[in-house]
Amino acid sequence: MQKVIMNGVPYIGVLKEAEGVTNLVDALQVGGGVVQREEIATYLRMKNTGTLEAIQFGGTGVAYSVSEFTDAEQMDMDMCAVAMKHAKKTAVAGMENQAFDILMGK
């Protein structure tokens, strides 16, 4: 995942270039230069459900920049990744317990 400003619009996603076309895949538009923890969490939720954007830019006048994540942003990404990994590990059992509780009238 990268921080990309494409034609003045900030995104997090993966930048790919090929044959004069620039693609931003697994992309989510964010609010500004500093990526917030909730934006990272939203990104991971959307990636999990396959609902991130794929945006194609072509022709002349495409301007973009890629910047590194700050230490604080990287820490938020790491924490969110650990939380998502744990959620995937425990989600099915949690949903089964909820369904069981409903059936048992709890």
Q: Which two tokens stand for residue 82?
A: 């650990």
Confidence of residue 20 (pLDDT cuts 50, 70, 90): confident
User: Is a pLDDT exceeding 90 seen at residue 32?
Assistant: no
Which pLDDT does position 36 carry in this prediction? 96
Domain residue ranges in the chain:
2-103
User: Is a pLDDT exceeding 90 seen at residue 89?
Assistant: yes
Confidence of residue 90 (pLDDT cuts 50, 70, 90): very high
Confidence of residue 17 (pLDDT cuts 50, 70, 90): confident
What is the distance between the alpha carbons of residues 90 and 40, in angstroms, rounded to a whole number?
Answer: 21
CB neighbour list of residue 54: distance below 8 Å, 6 or more residues apart: 23, 24, 25, 26, 27
What is the distance between the alpha carbons of residues 37 and 73, in angstroms, rounded to a whole number?
Answer: 7
User: Is a pLDDT exceeding 80 seen at residue 13?
Assistant: yes
Q: Which two tokens stand for residue 39?
A: 């934006």
Calculate ∠ Cα 68-74-76, nearest 5°: 140
Which pLDDT does position 33 carry in this prediction? 82
Which pLDDT does position 80 carry in this prediction? 96
Question: Which residue is it, tokens 């076309």?
Answer: 21
